[in-house]
Amino acid sequence: MPSLKSWSVFDFPAKESQLATLDQQIAAPDFWNDSGAAQRVSKSAAKLRDEVDGWRAFRRQIRDALELARLDDPSLRAELEVEVAAIQQEVETRSFTAMLSGRYDDDDAILAIHAGAGGTDSQDWAAMLERMYLRWAEKRGFETEALDRSEGEEAGIKSVTIAVNGKYAFGYLRSEKGVHRLVRLSPFDAAHRRHTSFALVEILPQVAMDDPEVEVDPGDLKVDVFRSSSAGGQNVQKNSTAIRITHLPTGIVVICQNERSQAQNREFALRILRSRLLEIRKAEKAEEVAVLRGEYTKAEWGSQIRSYVLHPYQMVKDHRTEFERGNTQAVLDGDLDAFMDAYLRANSGKA
């Protein structure tokens, strides 16, 4: 049974004191005079209260199990074993989420997939990755929404941008950023030869519009409005609701053309732009800046973070952690947690 003294990862006295301070600020008569600051404080308090309450409940669960064990009653053995198993599972879960301590790890995410070298096979591979991540998000209980999508000429997609909403969405998904390689017998080759395809995956945090980390000067923006279009090029709306925003100083272009109002598309496009600007600010290498400006890292040989081999053998291998699995279908069906866990453990503290 784990000792209560071992939970140094979460400082109860400090967190409780911090929560009490925030609650005092919220109770002040002039708290809502500055609505922006008030919303940030309220959000911080709600997040901290959720953490504190969760750990309080977990400590009670451990104490209850210890009391049950001290009774030394053989008839309670089965019940105790169930409790111990639940506690061990909770320890594993909390051990995993403890690695998600980055500034934006508990925020929503923006997932973008771009077909790379490989022609039609690459575009089909990008669509397969989209399906994989949508299935992973569904298993996690996350909400997803396609913000922009460019269909391939024959099959698959050229690119797609998806909002992934859920607690720790960015923290989990940041392990997926990079080039993904697929090796298989091509269904688009008449000779059915083996092909290698590449796709680039981008992961960005959904930066709040009032986040002080990023400031956008309206004078630096060029905004174009046009009609949303479907896969075949037909207009899906009579009104011009799609938005294209160009950030003139960096050349970043963001498009949002979901079937919603122009105002909603504009808000999401600005949110994505702010996320990209934040990543540029955080980037330390010129090549990372190039990726975020649209000069993507070449999706080709030698640059992949993970390989998915379907022929001549079955294997998915992450080249950063050396973690691999033989059940490729399970991975393509969204079973990605083991890869994310391996990456986070290998990069703990580097967020």
Residue 61 lies in domain: 4-97
Model pLDDT, residue 6: 41
Model pLDDT, residue 48: 84
Check whether residue 116 and residue 203 sit in a common domain: yes
Model pLDDT, residue 247: 93
Give the 3-state secondary structure of residue 208: coil
Answer yes or no: are the C-beta atoms of 254 and 244 closer than 8 Å: yes
Model pLDDT, residue 196: 92
Check whether residue 64 and residue 132 sit in a common domain: no
For residue 116, being part of any structural domain is answered with: yes
Model pLDDT, residue 10: 54
Model pLDDT, residue 239: 63
Contacts 24+ apart (CB under 8 A), 228-236: 228/257, 228/258, 228/259, 229/257, 231/151
Give the 3-state secondary structure of residue 34: coil
For residue 259, being part of any structural domain is answered with: no
For residue 249, being part of any structural domain is answered with: no
Structure tokens at 38: 């008030």
For residue 75, being part of any structural domain is answered with: yes
Provide the CATH number for the domain around residue 75. 1.20.58.410
Check whether residue 79 and residue 143 sit in a common domain: no
Check whether residue 82 and residue 194 sit in a common domain: no
Answer yes or no: are the C-beta atoms of 127 and 162 closer than 8 Å: no
Q: Count of domains in the chain?
A: 2
Check whether residue 41 and residue 165 sit in a common domain: no
Domain boundary residue among 46, 68, 97? Answer: 97
Model pLDDT, residue 84: 92
Check whether residue 48 and residue 182 sit in a common domain: no
Residue-by-residue pLDDT tens, the chain, 351 positions: 444 444 444 566 788 888 899 999 999 999 998 887 888 788 888 888 888 888 888 989 999 999 989 998 889 889 999 999 999 988 887 777 778 877 788 889 999 999 997 789 999 999 999 999 999 999 999 999 998 888 988 899 999 999 999 989 999 999 999 999 999 999 988 788 899 999 999 999 987 666 667 788 899 999 998 877 654 444 444 567 889 999 999 899 998 887 678 888 888 888 889 888 888 877 644 455 555 555 555 544 457 899 999 999 999 999 999 999 999 999 999 999 999 999 998 887 555
Residue 301: CB atoms within 10 A of its CB come to 11
Q: Which amino acid is at 243?
A: I
Check whether residue 56 and residue 202 sit in a common domain: no
Check whether residue 36 and residue 83 sit in a common domain: yes
Check whether residue 50 and residue 180 sit in a common domain: no
Q: Which amino acid is at 204?
A: L
For residue 184, being part of any structural domain is answered with: yes
Domain boundary residue among 97, 117, 141? Answer: 97
Check whether residue 189 and residue 43 sit in a common domain: no
Q: Which residues contact 109 (CB under 8 A, 6 or more apart)?
A: 163, 164, 169, 170, 173, 174, 203, 204, 205, 206
Domain boundary residue among 39, 72, 97? Answer: 97
- In whole angstroms, what is the distance from residue 147 CA to residue 289 CA? 23
Model pLDDT, residue 329: 97
**DSSP readout, 224-289?**
EEE--B-TTS-BS-SS--EEEEEETTTTEEEEE--SS-HHHHHHHHHHHHHHHHHHHHH--SHHHH
Check whether residue 196 and residue 306 sit in a common domain: yes
Check whether residue 181 and residue 91 sit in a common domain: no
Provide the CATH number for the domain around residue 155. 3.30.70.1660
